Structure formats: structure tokens, C-alpha cells
Amino acid sequence: MSVDALPGRPGAPPPPSLLHARCAVCWVVLGIAVLVVASFASLDLQWSRFLSVDAMRRMGRFIAELLSPSVDPAFLKRLAVASAETLAMSALGTLLAVAAGLAIALPASRVYAGERALLRAPTRLLLNVLRSIPELAWAALLLIAAGLGPFAGTLALAFHTTGVLGRLFAEAIENAPPGPAVALRVQGVPEGRVFLYATLPAVLPQILSYSLYRWENNIRAAAVLGVVGAGGLGQMLAFHMGLFQMRETSSVLIAMIALVALVDLLSYVTRRVLAR
């Protein structure tokens, strides 16, 4: 930068006006500050209620109760069953979502430039809607059709994950290297076989890694889905907490944290192994 261009010198460009793009950051910061102040001002947070001595004492008693988990063998057995149920829900939900996601991703992707892909926009909208409704909301909705229990939870996971995976799969299919598919297509091979023998082998590693990643997320989600009555550890947690059985609640919480930690550890180890 030459000396003349420095601000404050004669001949220097005037400072940008407040609405100039260079001030975008200032506006963003101001906007965030307003949002934060408005949020704190509008919520009746009742600080006194949880900063008071009484609330602290209640919190302390609560934590003390949580530190003595129940180790009754019959209860632990039910806990193990619920953990297995959580794992099964997540695995089956993910599996259903992989199948459904792949089925929807096909019409949702434009496989070669100039393809009309009439279904692309509506199927993408469907995927976005499936994805925007969280698992827990799906579970609450599906309870009406599927009844209380793990089946509703499995379906809820499958619906939400279909939206997520379908979109990722469609992106993967559209971004696959076009060479092999073009080679088959110019030979007159029908579209279905082109997908099976050219596109699918190219995107399979991506599909697998996306699916495993979502499975990991779904185990975490399945653990809490039961809070609305959709089976697994969450249902036990809501049940025992509702009855104020703190020892049992504490065991369920420990099982939940252990499950999540185990999944984290496994995924960390897998990543390390795969990265090598």
C-alpha cells in the first residue's frame, strides 16, 4: 500500500459508508448483540429460582441421590435389554434409511448433464421435509400410528435419516466421475444397469461412510427418543424419573453415558485405523 492510500491523507479514498459491504461484520456483530439482549430480556428465566439457596440445596440433594446407582441384578438385566433395544433401534432405523434414502436419491439426482430429471425438484423437497423434522418430533407423531414402544422409535429414526442420507447420496451420485457411466451409456446399456455397474461402485465407499456416520448419530438419538415413549433407554429414564426413583434413574443415566462414550471411542478408533 502506498503512503498516499493511507486513510487521513489528502487524496486517500473516503472511509466506507456504514452500509458498505466492508461494514458487514459490524452489522453482524450489532445484530448478534441485539439478538442476545432481546433473548435474555424476553425470557422469564427467574434467575432467583435456580440461583437461590433453596434451589442449590435441591440440586445438591438431587446430585447426591444420583451418585448412588441401583445395582439390583433384576434391574440391571432390564437395563441391558433396554440398551440392546436402543442399539437395535438405531441399527434397524439406519438400515431402513439407507434403503429408502438410496431409492429416493435416484430420482433426486441428475445423472448426466441435460437429463430432464423431472422428479428431481419434488423428491428433493420431500427429502428436505423429512430432514427438517427432528427424530423426536417424528417419534411423537408416529406414536399415534405405531403405538408406544421401540417400533415408533425405529420408524422415527428411519424417517429423519432418510432425509439426511437421501440428500447426501444424491450429491454423491451427481458428483461421481462420469467416465464409466458414459462409456456404458453410449453402448446402449439401459439406465438401471449403468447405475449398478458404473455409478454404484464409484459411490459405494461414500455411501458406506455416510451410513456409518449416521448410525453413530442415531445411537445417540435412539438413547433419548424414548423420552416421548418410543422405547429404549430413554423410555426407562422417563419412567423412573417420573416416579422419582432416583437410584434407578441414576443407573439408566450411567448406562446412557457409557453407551454414548463407547460409540465415541469406537468411532475414534475406527477413524484412526482408517486414516492410517
Partner 1 sequence: MSSVTLRAAPALRDPAWAGRVFWMLAALALLAPMLWATEFKPWILFEPAGLRSTLRFVGEFFPPKLDAEFLQLIAYETWRTIAIATCGMVLALVLAIPLTLAATAVLSVSALPGRMHAGPFLLRQAVRWLLILLRSVPELVWALVFVRVVGLGPAAGVLAIALTYSGMLGKVYAEILESGETHPTTALLRNGSGRLQAFFYGLLPANTLELTSYTVYRWECAIRSSAVLGFVGAGGLGQQLITSLRMFNGAEVSTILLVFIALVWLADWVSAKLREVLA
Residues in contact with partner 1 by CB under 8 A are 24-25, 28, 35-36, 38-40, 42-46, 49-50, 55, 58-59, 62, 84-85, 88-89, 91-92, 95, 128-129, 132-134, 136-137, 140-141, 144-147, 149-151, 153-154, 220, 223-224, 227-228, 231, 234, 237-238, 241, 253, 256-257, 260-261, 264
- Phi then psi for 16, rounded to 5 degrees? -65, 145
Separation of alpha carbons 98 and 217, rounded Å: 14
Separation of alpha carbons 20 and 15, rounded Å: 10
Q: How many CB atoms lie within 10 A of CB 263?
A: 19
Minimum distance between the CB of residue 60 and partner 1, rounded to whole angstroms? 10
Nearer to partner 1, 6 or 35 (CB): 35
Minimum distance between the CB of residue 2 and partner 1, rounded to whole angstroms? 25
The answer to whether 90 and 157 have CB atoms below 8 angstroms apart is yes
Minimum distance between the CB of residue 43 and partner 1, rounded to whole angstroms? 5
Compute the C-alpha angle 13/18/23, nearest 5°: 85
Nearer to partner 1, 5 or 45 (CB): 45
Q: Give me the helices (H) in the chain, please.
A: 24-42, 47-51, 53-66, 73-105, 120-132, 135-146, 150-175, 179-186, 191-194, 200-225, 233-242, 246-275
Minimum distance between the CB of residue 247 and partner 1, rounded to whole angstroms? 15
Nearer to partner 1, 156 or 184 (CB): 156
Nearer to partner 1, 154 or 199 (CB): 154
Minimum distance between the CB of residue 3 and partner 1, rounded to whole angstroms? 25
Nearer to partner 1, 12 or 81 (CB): 81
Question: Can you say how many angstroms the Cα of residue 33 is from the centroid of all Cα atoms in its chain?
Answer: 28
Nearer to partner 1, 93 or 101 (CB): 93
The answer to whether 249 and 237 have CB atoms below 8 angstroms apart is yes
Minimum distance between the CB of residue 4 and partner 1, rounded to whole angstroms? 28
